[in-house]
Amino acid sequence: MADFPTSARVVIIGGGAVGASSLYHLAKAGWTDCVLLEKNELTAGSTWHAAGNVPTFSSSWSIMNMQRYSAQLYRGLGEAVDYPMNYHVTGSVRLGHSRERLQEFKRVVGMGRYQGMDLDILSPDEIRSRYPFLETHDLAGALYDPYDGDIDPAQLTQALAKGARQMGARIERFCPATGVRREGDEWVVETPKGEIRCEIVVNAAGYYAREVAKMFGRDLPMMVMSHQYLLFDTIPELESWSKGVGHKLPLLRDVDSSYYLRQEKYGFNLGPYENPCRAHWASPDDPMPEDFSFQLFPDDLERLEWHINDAMARVPLLGQANLTKVINGPIPYTPDGNPLIGPMPGVPNAFEACVFTFGICQAGGAGKVLAEWVTEGATEWDMWSCDPRRFTGFEDPQYCVEKGMEVYGHEYAIHFPHHVWPVGRGKKLSAVHDRVAALGAQFGPYNGWERALWYAREGDDTSEAAQRTWEREGPWFGAVREECLAVRDACGILDLPGFSRFRVTGAGAVAWLSAQITGKVPAVGRLGLAYFADGKGRIVTEMSVARIAEDEVLLITAATAQMHDKEWLLSTLPDGLTLVDETDGWSTQILTGPLAREVLVAAGCEADLGKPWLTWSEGRIAGRSVLLMRVSFAGELGWEIHSRVPDTPAVFDAVMAAGRPLGLRPFGMFALNSLRVEKGYRAWKGDLSTDYTVLQGGLERFVDWSKPDFRGKAALEAERQRGVAKRFVTLTVEAGECDPPYMSTLWHDGAVVGETTSGYFGHRVGKVVALGMLRADLAVPGTVVEVEVFGERCRAVVCEDAPLWDAKNERLRA
């Protein structure tokens, strides 16, 4: 015990593939004074029994980044650390049964190409040249991923551990973390072998992450699923084929039937994601054991029967093989299926790298991302999809179990842009939820809040099946058009519960805020948009700022940003200033359209409605106090009506009753999306992310260069001097049946020159509008480029650097 480390810069709790990769990447970044604690032997959690598949495929840009990085890292790792590994890069064939599935593949091929990967689409005839033993008569095509393969997960973990040790990091095996406590600015991690004082702690405890999080007082949103794969014996025909061609079959995924099938030696490994599926340790009569190291659940083949038969019909060779072994192990799931990588919410100097569903193929990238969070406080790629702060605390255990099962049961499902997953709904309801529901609202959740997406009319198809399309013109299209035109010609109202709002007060509040944002803090009585940059000048977040008094500001931001933005603000808030999270106390109606003022007057609103755009005022509607903010994300004359939750029904009723005769009509989030792209208004974590700097984002008019300093100023000045490499543009697109999704590539002269960040049909301008980032020399009005939409190149024209709709903002100022 004499050499047990008593201090370290970082302590990582958990020695699976992800913990080992985190240690390796910290050491690579020069942080070698790090210790990893593993309560058993390395890999004892989920890692030892993982199938070891290493796909790069993902329809998420950031997850694809992580997986691509992993695959690259694994190729050279054995040699780099002198630890030979079984890593077979076999390529993979992902089968598509439908046109929609092929569209998904084409989109991913486009994204992959942008990330430097040559993914490809195969016709049914071509599939057999890659995979000879396959029934193809009912297939629409396939995606070929030449980088896919399989790795031995234990060897991977040991190689990462060896590499980390070689650089000076330490690993303590059979040494559980049993508690943590804060002493001054340090953490003290308690273990049976002694205590370790450290600056930073990382929870990498896999499916035990929730237990470890409790030591920090955190209730971590996760659950545990059982996942099985089946190992089949040698098949002589496969053996002789494999020996003849000198390689293995590519990995096969029949995603519409929901399984993977991989050649394992000269037999097969079949892994279904079945539905119905099985959660574990989710109820009091099935408690999580104190220790489950190197253990498995009992086999449960019955629920896989359909998939086994389907796989045998697809690859008849499988029918010749004997089943030799079943592996049934625990996999942790968050409510959206993505892992947690990043700052631990509400806890200083603590991070998470846990709850990985695909932790083998993501371990490499996850270690890089975690190490960047720890050493730099920011990551190279925007990693919001994995940021622990995307969950805000409403995700109770039942919700986690239900959502985890939904994700697992649809592991390979297509995520369509207008589709809403049905489980775990109704967690947070607006004060006028019943009223908007009665008006036909079709809801979708935003940070748990149910918001109207669109309002169905008599006869509109509101089934979930109808949402499963990439096409623009689903059943909502006509209704959304009417909603947009009502906003254009008369007035619309959007019930918007859940806006995050923080009130900051105290002497020096404005000076503090000014140092955090790129622009000016508005004068008392005024409103403004504020951009928060990181030290590299990249866009961290955007908030509306209402200056309430000399030393008081109200900051309003996206529902999903509640935890993220609050932590961002608190991280620099000095003693003496107070920040109060008022999110739950208030609700908001967006009232917008040329008749918005008449509607408010008719509703008996007592307020100065003559105050100009970008001001706020106090008023009364139906005898209730309201805060009126003269802004409109829809780009028409309008006010946000902020009311206290108990007052909201009365306010809503008064406005609706007064507005109806004037043509007032409710509208939803789909219409708002259409209206805002026509104005070039950016959405957080789509158009605005840390993938772009404030200057690239075209937000220079929100930068006050005359301020002595603000976060990111030096980096932005340097960028301005060197010249901005790419720029935000609005494009009109001659698209076919589908709007360009997020991260569709932009082409010019046969080269990729940018990407879209939003795309939607603009009903006021009658065109498909895309927002995106384009190489700076091409970001000139009138330039013609092409947008790749599901594999099809569509002509697009760069618009003037002004909103497409109401270029001079005259309607807003009316």
Sign of the C-alpha dihedral, residues 98, 103, 104, 106? positive
Contact between 304 and 228 (Cβ < 8 Å): yes
Closest separation between CB of residue 115 and ligand FAD, Å?
A: 18
Q: Which stretch binds ligand FAD (CB under 6 A): 37-45, 342-350, 558-566, 727-735?
A: 37-45
Going residue by residue from 290 to 329, which x/- string records binding to ligand FAD, judged by CB under 6 A?
Answer: ---x---------------------------------x-x
Nearest distance in Å: CB 33, ligand FAD: 19
Residue choice 95, 238, 331, 401 for contact with ligand FAD (CB under 6 A):
331
Residues touching ligand FAD, count (CB under 6 A): 42
CB 744 within 8 A of CB 107: yes
Residue 805 · residue 604 · CB < 8 Å: no
Could you say whether residue 205 binds ligand FAD (CB under 6 A)?
yes
CB nearer ligand FAD, residue 208 or residue 476: 208
Instruction: Name which position in 32, 53, 334, 514 contacts ligand FAD (CB under 6 A).
Output: 53
Could you tell me the two tokens for 200?
A: 């930073």
**Token reading at 193:** 């072998």
CB 207 within 8 A of CB 226: no
Binding status of residue 671 toward ligand FAD by CB under 6 A: no
14, 110, 635, 638: residue in contact with ligand FAD (rule CB under 6 A): 14
- Least Å distance, CB 358 to ligand FAD, is 4
Under the binding rule (CB under 6 A), the answer on residue 49 touching ligand FAD is yes
H or E stretch including 510? Answer: helix 509-516
Between CA 504 and CA 729 the distance in angstroms is 34
CB within 8 A of 289, min separation 6: which ones?
A: 281
Contact 411, 403 (CB under 8 A): no
> Binding residue for ligand FAD (CB under 6 A) from 356, 455, 652, 728?
356
User: For residue 43, what are its two tokens?
Assistant: 């890999």
Q: For 692, which DSSP code?
A: S
Nearest alpha carbon to residue 518 among 539, 490, 500, 501 = 539
**What's the min distance (Å) between Cβ of 174 and ligand FAD?**
9
Q: Is the peptide bond preceding residue 335 cis, with omega within 30 degrees of 0?
A: no
Helix residue ranges, H only, 236-358: 236-245, 305-314
Minimum Å distance from CB 463 to ligand FAD?
Answer: 34
Contact stretch for ligand FAD (CB under 6 A) within 90-98, 140-148, 202-210, 376-384: 202-210
In whole angstroms, the minimum distance from the beta carbon of 661 to ligand FAD comes to 58
Which residue in this structure is represented by tokens 């918005």?
Answer: 596
Cα dihedral across residues 614, 616, 617, 622: positive or negative: positive
Phi-psi region of 460 (alpha: psi -120 to 50; beta: other; left: phi over 0): beta
Only segment of 199-207, 314-322, 631-639, 805-813 that touches ligand FAD (CB under 6 A): 199-207
Residue ranges of alpha helices (H) inside 315-390 are 359-376
With binding defined as CB under 6 A, does residue 51 bind ligand FAD? yes
Region of 235-243, 248-256, 357-365, 375-383 interacting with ligand FAD (CB under 6 A): 357-365
> Half-sphere exposure of residue 168, counting CA atoms within 13 Å on the CB side?
12
- 608 touches 639 (CB < 8 A): no
The least CB distance from residue 42 to ligand FAD, in Å, is: 7
CB of residue 348 to ligand FAD, shortest distance in Å: 20
Q: Return the number of the residue (157 or 379) whose C-beta is nearest ligand FAD.
A: 157
Q: Which of residues 219-248 bind ligand FAD (CB under 6 A)?
A: 227, 229
361 near ligand FAD, rule: CB under 6 A? yes
The residue from 8, 11, 27, 50 that contacts ligand FAD (CB under 6 A) is 50
Dihedral pair phi/psi, residue 327, rounded to 5°:
-115, 120
Beta strands in 49-89 (DSSP E): 87-88
Stretch that binds ligand FAD, among 104-112, 203-211, 544-552, 771-779 (CB under 6 A): 203-211
SS3 563: helix
In the bound state with ligand FAD, the residue whose beta carbon lies nearer, of 53 and 516, is: 53
Cβ-Cβ contacts under 8 Å for 736 (sequence gap 6 or more): 789, 792, 794
Does residue 19 bind ligand FAD (CB under 6 A)? yes
With binding defined as CB under 6 A, does residue 188 bind ligand FAD?
no
Q: Does 15 bind ligand FAD (CB under 6 A)?
A: yes
**Closest CB 16 distance from ligand FAD, rounded Å:** 2
Select the residue interacting with ligand FAD from 38, 264, 495, 788 (CB under 6 A): 38
H helices of 29-173, in order, are 61-81, 99-114, 124-130, 153-166
87 binds ligand FAD (CB under 6 A): no
User: To the nearest whole angstrom, how small is the minimum distance from the Cβ of residue 126 to ligand FAD?
Assistant: 26
Q: Is 177 in the site for ligand FAD (CB under 6 A)?
A: yes
CA distance 609 to 621: 12
The answer to whether 206 contacts ligand FAD (rule: CB under 6 A) is yes
Least distance to ligand FAD, CB of residue 58, Å: 12
- Residue pair 287/281 in contact (Cβ under 8 Å)? The answer is yes
Contact stretch for ligand FAD (CB under 6 A) within 7-15, 102-110, 425-433, 608-616: 7-15
Q: Is 277 in the site for ligand FAD (CB under 6 A)?
A: no
* Shortest Å, Cβ 671 to ligand FAD: 40
- With binding defined as CB under 6 A, does residue 498 bind ligand FAD? no
CB-based contact 796:770 (threshold 8 Å): yes
* Site membership for ligand FAD, residue 444 (CB under 6 A): no
* Near ligand FAD by CB under 6 A: residue from 34, 45, 343, 544: 45
Tell me the Ramachandran region of residue 122: left when phi exceeds 0, alpha when psi lies from -120 to 50, beta otherwise. Answer: beta
The answer to the question of residue 390 lying near ligand FAD (CB under 6 A) is no
Q: Choose, by CB under 6 A, the member of 63, 180, 196, 212 that binds ligand FAD.
A: 212
CA-CA distances (angstroms) from residue 447 to 161, 405, 565, 791? 38, 19, 13, 32
- Exposure class string for 30-62: b at 16+ Cβ within 10 A, else e: ebbbbbbbbbbebbbbbbbbbbbbbbbbbbbbb
Give CA 800 to chain center in angstroms. Answer: 31
- 3-class SS of residue 83: coil
> Is 198 a residue that touches ligand FAD (CB under 6 A)?
no
Residues 147-176 that bind ligand FAD (CB under 6 A): 176
Asked whether position 357 contacts ligand FAD by CB under 6 A, the answer is yes
Which residues of this chain interact with ligand FAD, rule CB under 6 A? 13-19, 37-40, 44-47, 49-53, 176-177, 204-208, 212, 227, 229, 293, 327, 329-331, 354, 356-361
